[in-house]
Structure 1
Amino acid sequence: MLQTITDWINNIAHAGEGEDKYGSDDPKLSVAAILVHVIAVDGVVTDDEKRRLREVLASNYGLTAEETEQLVEEATVREDDAVDLYSFTSVLKRELDDAGRHKVVESMWEIVFADGEVSEFEDNVVWRVAELIGISTRDRMTLRHKIEAKTKGES
Structure 2
Amino acid sequence: MLARLKALFTDDDAERMGRRSHDEVQLAAATLLVEAARMDDRIGPNERARIRSMLEQRFSLTDPEADSLLAAAETETEGPAQWHRFTSTLKDRFSEEERIQMIEMLWEVVYADGELHDLEASLLRRVGGLLYVSDRDRGAARMRVLDRLGIADPTIEAP
* TM-score between the two structures when normalised by the length of structure 2: 0.77
Q: Which structure has the larger Rg over C-alpha atoms?
A: 2
Aligned residue for 1:43, secondary structure, equals coil
Q: Are the equivalent residues in 2 in contact too, given 1:27–1:91 (CA < 8 A)?
A: yes
Work out the CA distance in 1 between the residues paired with 2:108 and 2:58: 12
Q: What one-letter code is carried by the residue in structure 1 that aligns with 2:139? A: M
* Residue of structure 2 equivalent to 1:36: 34
Deviation string 1:76-112 (CA, Å, 9 cap, x unpaired) is: 2222245431010110111111111111101101111
Structure 2 gap ranges (5+): 1-18, 152-159
Q: After superposition, where does 1:28-67 map in structure 2 within 5 Å? A: 28-67=26-65
Percent identity over the alignment is 29
1:87 to 79, 85, 92: 85
Q: What one-letter code is carried by the residue in structure 1 that aligns with 2:55? A: L
Runs (4+) off by over 3 Å:
21-25
How far 1:27 sits from its partner (Å)? 1.1
Q: What one-letter code is carried by the residue in structure 2 that aligns with 1:107? A: M
Number of equivalences: 133
Q: What one-letter code is carried by the residue in structure 2 that aligns with 1:67? A: E
Deviation string 1:52-76 (CA, Å, 9 cap, x unpaired) is: 1111111111111110010011112
Work out the CA distance in 1 between the residues paired with 2:84 and 2:75: 16
* TM-score between the two structures when normalised by the length of structure 1: 0.79
* Residue of structure 2 equivalent to 1:130: 128
Work out the CA distance in 1 between the residues paired with 2:34 and 2:21: 17
Does residue 94 of structure 2 align to residue 96 of structure 1? yes
Q: What root-mean-square deviation, in Å, do the aligned CA atoms of Structure 1 and Structure 2 show?
A: 1.9
